Amino acid sequence: MENELIRYFRQRVPGHRLLEVGLGDDAAVLRLAGRQYVLTVDMLSDHVDFELAEVDPRRVGRKLLAVNLSDIAAMAARPVAAVVALLLPRSGGMELAKALYEGLLPLAEKYDLAIAGGDTNSWDGPLAASVTILGETTERGPLTRSGARPGDQILVTGWFGGSILGKHLDFQPRVDEALLLHQRYDLHAGIDCSDGLALDLARLAEQSGCGAAVDLAAVPVAEDAHRLARQLADGSTPLDHALADGEDFELILAVPPDQARRILADQPLGVPISRIGQFVEKPGLWEQTTNGQLRPLSAVGWEHKFHG
Amino acid sequence: MENELIRYFRQRVPGHRLLEVGLGDDAAVLRLAGRQYVLTVDMLSDHVDFELAEVDPRRVGRKLLAVNLSDIAAMAARPVAAVVALLLPRSGGMELAKALYEGLLPLAEKYDLAIAGGDTNSWDGPLAASVTILGETTERGPLTRSGARPGDQILVTGWFGGSILGKHLDFQPRVDEALLLHQRYDLHAGIDCSDGLALDLARLAEQSGCGAAVDLAAVPVAEDAHRLARQLADGSTPLDHALADGEDFELILAVPPDQARRILADQPLGVPISRIGQFVEKPGLWEQTTNGQLRPLSAVGWEHKFHG
């Protein structure tokens, strides 16, 4: 459905003179009074993005904000202000709302984010919540999905796979990491990995009009990807999970070769940065084989993990 | 619940140096790069704010945006950009999303509003949707809820009551009206009437640290308030509906006497402006009796009309 809707939106939703980047990136870029701002919203709901019955609601509240901060990070922008809309189940809604905020507020404070307002309602359904963040770009401008060029290296932060075991709630949005990299090095494009490494990398390549070739041996596989493969015992490998699981919320970056070498040598972040391949002329997602061939790689991603 | 949560938010959610008006007004006011912006979110859902089974979904889509525009109007700000988050029922979600946008886009165009982005998901529950609007204040600054002074006149646009019969979907957000009044006259405070004339007027008075005395004979009662009273035949009067029904989305304004006289004489809007009383020293909501006495008036408002 997502793809058909995106096509509909692209045809039907008009551009606007203030809109420098519109639908289809991690956040919109608006030009207001000569400055660039980014604006993004995410809607999360019980049974889709978390199972409220199984986790501390403060972790859910933290996630509501963190997924949004990850979109701001993907644009290499600074978060400024957020508004929070909650649709609460009638029973226990009040205590739930407080717990969500108790999880959300420390993260807001960490990023000096103003909680500017909210809308709180109750209904007979499960929890649904949206967070909208307004951010501002740095003097380097926004990092978009469309700037990758053939020859650019694919760099990623952290590890991938198995986030369902906990990281999907407790991940660190890479806000500071993106700002630091964008300031010190020349980056061409970026995306945050929310729907799976393979799928989000394919999106970045597609929006840049090129392809991406992955060196599968170089993909940093999370310990939880190994653990999940063992738990499931369904024939899936840790690498499958690293490629297809969603919600790692790590950065995927397109970086010209000289800059990539510097970043890999400097390792300027608290989290490791790995090279997992390069962008190529040929559109699509590819596995780079050891003999230099390109073999098609499936861009399968995560959808509604909690629905089995 | 709402009041307890508001108390919680006021205690727990910190202020921020960028936040000139925070929680508790129709929209937050942010100062960015020397300019003032307003930011507001609303979450609407099936069976609470509309009955999707009974109405054209385009009218629902229009309402999603219109309630938000009404908050921007209440601040006498200009709408700039919106983001839309949809949580769609799995069955027919795609067609529903398109229909919602078909209703929403003409209103966005009317106000030159950039639809900057969105998030579209599906789940096993009913439709829930949030719209966030970023606006900018004019050189007159924002119109807040806290500026009413004893002696200020209570002016309102349009008519009140019975919006459930249709106006709650098809109302005109008073964006242009608020901008015009705020530019030509000195207004002290404003709010949009979403939860009922009595309740929203009481909120405006409370946040201004004064009271409000209403001349009940002067309240402009909508034709639909009469119709609804007849239909219900439960002893409620048209005036009861005008005071207590929600979702008229008209403006309630606090205006100093000389300016109020000018506005009432000029009638500069396409919709009538009426004087329905004045703000007084004594906190609370009052009926102004013909002999000049103040009699307590109940600040009862609308809640979950569709839940009987």
User: A47, A50, A51, A83: best mutation site toward chain B, by most B Cβ within 10 Å?
Assistant: A83
- Token readout for B124 is 């096993």
* B41-67 per-position pLDDT tens digit: 999 999 999 999 999 999 999 999 999
**Is the model more confident about A9 or about B116?**
B116
- Residue A305 in this model has a pLDDT that exceeds 50: no
Q: What is the DSSP string of B5-43?
A: HHHHHHHHS---TTEEE-TTSSSEEEEETTEEEEEEEEE
What's the ipTM? 0.93
pLDDT over 70 percentage in chain B: 97
Confidence band for A45, pLDDT divided at 50, 70 and 90: very high
Cα gap B40→B25, rounded to integer Å: 9
Which residues of chain A neighbour B115 with C-beta distances below 8 Å? 13-14, 16, 23
Residue A260 phi, psi dihedral angles, 5° rounding? -65, -40
Please give the C-alpha separations between residue A142 and each of A93, A101, A197, in angstroms, as whole numbers. 38, 29, 21
Which residues of chain B neighbour A121 with C-beta distances below 8 Å? 43, 45, 48
Q: State the average pLDDT over residues A16-43.
A: 92
Distance in Å from the first CA to the final CA of chain B: 18
Are residues A87 and B43, on separate chains, in Cβ contact within 8 Å? yes
* A230-240 per-position pLDDT tens digit: 999 999 999 99
CA-based nearest residue to B246, from B185, B288, B191: B191
CA-based nearest residue to A294, from A273, A270, A278, A305: A278
User: A50, A100, A110, A115: best mutation site toward chain B, by most B Cβ within 10 Å?
Assistant: A115
Residue B125 has its nearest CB partner, among A22, A30, A125, at A125
pTM: 0.94
Sheet with B189-192, side-by-side order of all strands: B189-192, B251-255, B153-157, B273-280, B211-214, B284-288, B294-296
Confidence band for A13, pLDDT divided at 50, 70 and 90: confident
Cα gap A93→A293, rounded to integer Å: 56
Question: What sign has the CA pseudo-torsion A51, A54, A58, A62?
Answer: negative
Are residues A117 and B28, on separate chains, in Cβ contact within 8 Å? yes
Cα gap A305→B136, rounded to integer Å: 40
Cα gap B205→B224, rounded to integer Å: 27
Which residues of chain B neighbour A105 with C-beta distances below 8 Å? 12-14
- Residue B116 in this model has a pLDDT that exceeds 60: yes
Question: Percent helix, strand and coil across chain A, each rounded to 5?
Answer: 35, 30, 35
3-class secondary-structure state, position B271:
coil
> Using an 8 Å Cβ cutoff, are A145 and A239 in contact?
no
Secondary structure E strands in B200-307: 211-214, 251-255, 273-280, 284-288, 294-296
- Residue A127 in this model has a pLDDT that exceeds 80: yes
- Residue A2 in this model has a pLDDT that exceeds 70: no
> Using an 8 Å Cβ cutoff, are A149 and A109 in contact?
no
Are residues B83 and A117, on separate chains, in Cβ contact within 8 Å? no
B235 CA: distance to closest CA in chain A (Å): 28
> Using an 8 Å Cβ cutoff, are A204 and A145 in contact?
yes
Are residues A4 and B94, on separate chains, in Cβ contact within 8 Å? yes
pLDDT for position B308:
31
- Residue B306 in this model has a pLDDT that exceeds 70: no
* B3-50 per-position pLDDT tens digit: 787 788 888 888 899 999 888 888 999 999 999 999 999 999 999 999
pLDDT for position B85:
96
Mean residue pLDDT across chain A: 93
Radius of gyration of chain B (CA): 19
Which residues of chain B neighbour A124 with C-beta distances below 8 Å? 47
pLDDT for position B2:
65
Give the dihedral of Cα atoms A266, A268, A270, A271; nearest 10 deg: -70
**Is the model more confident about B147 or about A290?**
B147
Confidence band for A304, pLDDT divided at 50, 70 and 90: very low
- Token readout for A118 is 């909210």
Residue A128 has its nearest CB partner, among B30, B87, B116, at B87
Residue A83 has its nearest CB partner, among B41, B47, B119, at B41
Determine how β-strand B114-123 pairs with β-strand B77-89.
parallel
| Domains contained in chain B, CATH given | 2-137 (3.30.1330.10), 153-307 (3.90.650.10)
pLDDT for position B293:
93
Which residues of chain A neighbour B132 with C-beta distances below 8 Å? 39, 41, 83, 85, 130, 132
A94 CA: distance to closest CA in chain B (Å): 7
Cα gap B118→A10, rounded to integer Å: 12
Which residues of chain A neighbour B91 with C-beta distances below 8 Å? none
Which residues of chain A neighbour B124 with C-beta distances below 8 Å? 47
- Token readout for A272 is 């490791």
Residue B5 has its nearest CB partner, among A5, A97, A124, at A97
* B245-288 per-position pLDDT tens digit: 999 999 999 999 999 999 999 999 999 999 999 999 999 999 99
CB contact set of B255 (below 8 Å; sequence gap of 6+): B152, B153, B155, B185, B186, B187, B188, B263
Confidence band for A5, pLDDT divided at 50, 70 and 90: confident
pLDDT for position B200:
96
